[in-house]
Structure 1
Amino acid sequence: MSTAFLSGGGEMGALMRARDWHASPLGTPAGWPPALKHTVRLMLGARHPMFLFWGPELVQFYNDAYRATMDGARHPAALGARGRDCWTEAWPIIGPEIEDILAGGPATWHERKLVPLLRDGMLRDAWWTYGFSPIEDDGGIQGVLVVCTDVTEEHQNRLALQTLNLRLEEEVAERRRAERELAAAKGRSDVALQEVSRTSEQRRRLYETFLSNSPDLAYVFDLDHRFTYANAVLLQMWGKTWDEAIGKNCLELGYPDWHAEMHGREIEQVKATRKPIKGTVPFNGTFGRRMYEYIFVPVIGPDGEVEAVAGTTRDVTERELAEEAISRNEQRFRSLIEASTQVVWHCGPDGSMEADSPTWRAYTGQTYEEWRGFGWTDAVHPDDRAACLAHWRRCMAEGRVYEAEQRVRALGGEYRWTAARAVPIFNEDGAIREWVGTTTDIHDRRQAELDRQRFVSLAERSEDFIGMAGLDLKPFFLNQAALRLVGARSYEEALNTPVQEFFYPEDRAFIRDEFLPRVAREGHAETEVRMRHFRSGEPVWMIYTVYVIRDADGRPEGYATVSRDITERKLAEERLRQATVDLLDANGRKTRFLATLAHELRNPLAPLRTGLDLMQLPGASQEALGRARAMMDRQLRQMVHLIDDLMDIARIDSGKIELKRERVALGTIVGAAIEGVMPMVEAAGHDLAVALPEEPLWLDADPTRLAQVLANLLTNACKYTPGGGRIALAARREGGDAVIEVRDSGIGIPPDALESVFEMFSQVSQNIGRAQGGLGIGLALVRSLVQMHGGTITAASAGAGQGSTFTLRLPLASLATAPAARPDGSERGEATPVESGLRILVADDNVDAATMLAAVLTARGHQVTLAHDGEEALASARADSFALLILDVGMPGLSGYEVARAVRAMPHLDGALLAAHTGWGAEHDRSEALAAGFDAHLTKPAGLDEIDALLARLCGASFD
């Protein structure tokens, strides 16, 4: 964005533009908020003193008019500084008010308020008329704008006028008292009366002498804007006598119309507000055209009303001219430094700067206050500062010339290399009196030297091919990397080989006839080309960049190249191309998977929908309803199986699945797998043969996961074998492995698909045109689980229609011992009799799910209380006792975890069993439930077996 809002603005505009804002809390001006930009623009264009505190850090901005009220110790360091750090002496007065406005308080205004400030190192009384206003945007109040006027001088003049008025009033009162005394006494001495008159006249002469001899113009207006008093210097400036001036207004005294009209408005304002007013104005009088600074104050009469307006005016022409001269000198010095990089300065014997150096200020942008003393070191680069000062001290101690090179921060904020030289000037006693020095910008020269050194270093150490050859294409320089890249035995061999012979034979004509002529025409060119390895003859792919070398007169005298080996990149590009092909293939498989997933999830939904409709028919028989329930149970289990497979793949891919290993017999795992698939085998009319060795084969494995592996293999065999087929599972020992084979007489697997069947979203049936359902993730899951157990799995088939064989190898356990007993002394799978008539709390924001679960529990003879959010569940738990609480973990208001933690703190539910009921079934979900105080974890949808097992645990089973 533009920074035009910082244009103009006098000295403060220039300082804001020159300042490096990167390190400030606001960042660069281009990124400032619009409200800040607009306020700064307004402030820089205003002639009235204005100050701005912005943001939480109260970063400060102010204009030229306000800068005039600041001393050298404060300005320009205050620009961009934090307000609390800058105005420590005044912060107890102004700080609370600023904080109140930032918090949303109203704008404020103060007239002639005492705010003491540090000036010239001392705390001095200062009176201010000021107001604080909030600056806000859509985000709220962002800053505080201060409009202020330093009325210290006005206040002091007002006090002086008040003192004068008081003395005049005292004089009048004294005269009146004397008159009363004379009237009452009627006989007092005339001598006493004359003494009073003499004293009064003496005071009048005193005041008149003071006002007549003051260099300032003093005057009094009546309420009709006419002069009733003008001191001698004012009459002289007008070129008029008392009688010619008194009683006339400004217009009648020759003031320009605009000037007279302006003073008329100001007199009326003082009368109306009873407050002073200040201004600066030019005037052409007998002293010539001069600049005057004036103040009008009200004169309050005995009745408390304004009876006149008094004023004083001071000639400030010299001050204005001096400021203008300073500004012109600054411009001249800046122009000088732009034309020359020479900076001249002198300092005290210890290196402390006292005398100003405009050239240094113009070069660095430091103010005199920042430069003086040892402030000049702030412009030296931090890395060079310590060495610079140490060298300076050595030169002082030895009385020798100081010469050094260091980086100095230039006006634009860039550090540039400079050469400093300082000569000591000695006193008669041999002590150093002062130093006279120069600082010369050598950045460009040094940069050229550094560039030359970098090139030399590049040529010596670079891994790129760097070489130079004449116009005859004979090399005359090659770096070591060039020799290595082309396999040259020696430097001489490489230099004696013409440039064109460095390239692969098929590319030489292009280099000779097309590329080098283009380099000659355009001065440089770049291409990708193959160089030739001298020993093996293999191509070496290079980015070949060539430049024309010219002599001092600009005539071509040869070629130079800095070229890079991109052989690996070329190989990577080929790999990337292949990866793109693979990715497109994977994306296609993913698309097919999503379509298959939608199909597979709809398949069970259709019979479930039909079963529900059948149950609602009034004439349905109990036999039909029984078949419908059995069918719905099978379809629901199929959906759960699909979802479980998806979750398992996700857990394996994310590394969140953990094996619960134990020493287990292979026969136990096979029995569990067969039990799960027998309904499918029987429904298809298959013949299932199982052959296990007589000796037990012990595995160190997760029995649940291995049973899942064998069940998936048997399920696949059932699905891809036509009805009445043969399926066989056989196991044997081979060395230290258990080998399990699952064979079928099914549709077989094409040879090119034997490996891809284990990839995600791959289905054998797609390769032979027969759709059997499934998501194409079962075998991918099988392979992942087998590999987690340290085993392998392979597929074999004689082809389409020839059946398939899956061979699984798992390492046997090192010791064939029986499994250890459970800690509670029971065997896995034992159930404890269920206690009937239990009080149970069911909480779930899914009303249908909660109602159906309550119906199942009620059918089992239990008393069930329902809740549909966390607050309701917690209220029920506080009000009643329950043996079992089944809580959905994702309820609104309070989650199930929060309710569980609260329940665990209730003494009357100390013996209750807590079960988490959730659709999240990963291991870390179970761990989180355990940490929250749950005893059990049910993954939705929970079946009757899981619910009955949960009820059985009320008699003492532990969290599983």
Structure 2
Amino acid sequence: MVHTGFNPALVALSIGLAIFASYTALDLGARVRDSASGPRWPWVAGAALALGGGIWSMHFVGMLAFEMALHAAYDLGLTVLSLVIAIAVTGAGFAWVVRRRGDRAGILIAGPLMGLGIAGMHYTGMAALRLPGHLTYSLPIVGVSIVIAVTAATAALWLAFRQHGVWQKLVAACVMGFAVAGMHYCGMAAATVTATETASHAGMTVLEQQNLAVYVAGTTFLILFLAMLASSLDQQRVQQELQASEGRFRAAIEAVRGVLWTNDAAGRMVGEQPGWSAITGQSRAQYQGYGWADAVHPDDVKESVETWTETVKARRTYVHEHRVRSRDGTWRHYAIRAVPVLDARGAIREWVGVHTDITEQRMAEADLRESNEEIQRYAYIVSHDLRSPLVNVMGFTSELEATRAEMRTALQGHPEAERLDTDFGEALSFVKAAVNRMEALIAAILKLSREGRRHFTPEDLDMAAVLQALADAQRHQAEAAGAQVLIAHDLPGIVADRLAVEQIFGNLLDNAVKYLDPSRPGRITVTARSAGPRGICFSVADNGRGIAPRDHARVFELFRRSGLQDRPGEGIGLAHVKALVRSIGGRIEMRSTLGEGTTFDVTLPCRAAKAGLDPAERAPLAAE
């Protein structure tokens, strides 16, 4: 038996190598996992070289740390073979797990295979040892070392394909490094050296201890160099992607005529803000902290600062609108949206916001409102002025009615008296019908012009109850037409003006009943479906006459009617419905097939639209 021991310094170095190799492999393995685009094999090869070569280096540094009173050398062929085994089995394990996308089954298959390969590397390296003596092994301890190798390899693959930061990665590398070192020194503990008188190295190339140390050192430095090179290349790739992403982001901001700015966690503007400086002309010293508020319009500054302060405290998205003084001294309207950027702990790191110039849009809206108001006033004035002579015509018609009676008395007995009375009466009926029609048209124009100035009062509406009440009001007409009106019981509620909603659906139900096909039983249904997170689409469908495709675009036009004109009407109902729907923030569409039926889809907001509550107010563009 030969007395043996270990050099503590080299033992510590071997453990350090195992930890370093483990960390490098984990880092490269993470890049394998994160490379969603591009080839993955370079990172697989790098991870295999780092872990396999690192374990090999650790093994032979551990062998150099093994001290005994015998001259030791190493067979070159077996030494190289042990390195090849380490890299090959490690690469195969990483490749298999990558192919299986890091799932548990793939790791449980590749881990044990990799562990057996690493154990094979260790005992191949032990077999390369040449000394004047014999090596024997304790099989139970060998089994323990293999178990440690399998466990370490499985843990290495599992950790390499998990999400983790630098500190977690370092802790994992330490755990795995100590496990690999434990496997090695457990395998060394299984070996017993018995001295003999001579050692024969005939016919083989051997490495002396000093040469082995040089080769191990070279391998270690090669691993370090390749790891640094891989990290450097990947860092360049990441930097290029970041630059490209930043360029796209800035281009997107410019495309929407926006200005990007950042504030610290407390909501103060700090650092260089070239975008803000470009639009306001403020220097860094002027806009620092809350100095940016000096560029906000005096009428808007108080609300802007207060809402910003409240948003920062509440940690929510900031949405606002105000006027900002430009570099040339003019005031421009900006819509603002800012979001908090959180760190890994969930704390606010900074605020990133965008000012979007909406001056032209607000000016266009003001011009449009002024034009609409002018049109409404003009319609009102014209309708009012037309009604005055119409009243005179109606008055003179009444006088002619009285004159007709006098003429009948005066012409009594005249042979043409009956004919003249009939002609006179027919002419009067034509005049009265024309006057009544003109009165209805003027009333319709006045009604539509008033809708633009109408104020709505939103309230919670149980749509099933509201529409059922409308259907009950139409029951007599529906029964007379032999029709059923079916209202779904699960209609969602909305917040809107009750009268406007009743007028919209009352008109649609009335039209559906009015234009049913007499050749088949009528069926009218009202259903609803979701139209996004903020809207509900109510559908009024019938199996009536339907509307010809050529008339689809004209049904909402004022005074326009389509199809057979056998029902009374002036062609203002659907125009009125469309005006009401738009006034409360919704939209209406129609689908119809001639001879089969018609469906009107009315999409209304779940909550009352601000623009519909008061047409004089504009809805902020920066609304969430």
TM-score normalized with structure 1 length: 0.17
Greater helix percent: which structure? 2
Bigger Rg over Cα: 1
TM-score by length of 2: 0.25
Structure whose residues are more often strand by fraction: 1
Relative contact order (C-alpha < 8 Å, sep 6+): which is higher? Answer: 2
